[in-house]
Amino acid sequence: MNQVTVGSYLAQRLEEVGVRDYFAIPGDFNLSLLDELLKNPRLKMINCCNELNAGYAADGYARENGVAALVLTFGVGGLSAVNAVAGAYAEDLPVIVVSGGPNVNSLMENRVLHHTLALPEEGDKFVLSVYKEITAHAVVIREASTAALRIDEAIRSALFAKKPVYIEIACNLAAALISRPNSLSLAPTRKSDPGSLKKALEHVAAFLNGSRQPVLVAGSRLRTGDAIGAFETLASACAYGVACMPNAKSFFPETSPQFLGIYWGSASSPGCREVVESSDAYLFAGPVFSDYTTVGFSALIQPKRLVQASPEGILVEGQVYHGIVLSEFLTALASKLKANPTSLESYLRIKEREQVTPPAVSGKQVISTRSLFHHIQKILNGTTTIVAETGDSWFNGMGLHLPDGCKFEIQMQYGSIGWSVGAFLGVAAANPARRVIGLIGDGSFQMTAQEVSTILRYNCSGIIFLMNNGAYTIEVMIHDGPYNTLQNWNYAAMVEALKGQSPILSQTVRTEEELEAVLEKATSFQGLTFIEVILDRIDCNKALLGWGTAVADYNGSKSDATD
User: Looking at residue 552, what is its pLDDT?
Assistant: 61
User: Looking at residue 474, what is its pLDDT?
Assistant: 56
Over range 219-232, report the average pLDDT: 97
> Is there a shared CATH topology between the 194-350 domain and the 369-549 domain?
yes
Q: How far is CA 365 from CA 22, 79, 368, 392, in A?
A: 45, 47, 9, 22
Is the pLDDT assigned to residue 483 strictly greater than 80?
no
Least confident of 97-106, 209-218, 238-247: 97-106
For the stretch 273-283, pLDDT in tens is 999 999 999 99
How high does pLDDT run on average in the chain?
90
Domains of the chain, residue spans: 3-179, 194-350, 369-549
Give how far the C-alpha of residue 500 lies from the chain's centroid of Cα atoms, to the nearest Å: 29
The CATH class of 194-350 is alpha beta
Over range 155-179, report the average pLDDT: 96
pLDDT over 70, % of the chain = 88
Among candidate residues 478, 468, 483, the one with its CA nearest the CA of residue 544: 478
Over range 16-44, report the average pLDDT: 97
**Amino acid at site 340:** N
Highest mean pLDDT, choosing among 351-360, 391-400, 477-486: 391-400
User: Looking at residue 60, what is its pLDDT?
Assistant: 98
User: Looking at residue 389, what is its pLDDT?
Assistant: 95
pLDDT interval class at 113 (50, 70, 90): confident
By DSSP bridging, strand 313-316 and strand 319-321 are antiparallel
Architecture of domain 3-179: 3-Layer(aba) Sandwich (3.40)
CB 293 within 8 A of CB 412: yes
**Third-level CATH fold of 369-549:** Rossmann fold (3.40.50)
DSSP string for 232-266: HHHHHHH--EEEE-GGGTTSS-TTSTTEEEE-BTB
CA 70 – CA 48 distance, rounded (Å): 10
DSSP string for 340-405: --HHHHHHHHHPPPP--SPPP--TTSBP-HHHHHHHHHHT--TTEEEEE-SSHHHHHHHT--PPTT
Is the pLDDT assigned to residue 355 strictly greater than 90?
no
Angle between the N-to-C axes of helices 6-16 and 147-161, in degrees from 0 to 180, rounded to the nearest 10: 30
pLDDT interval class at 357 (50, 70, 90): very low
User: Looking at residue 475, what is its pLDDT?
Assistant: 60
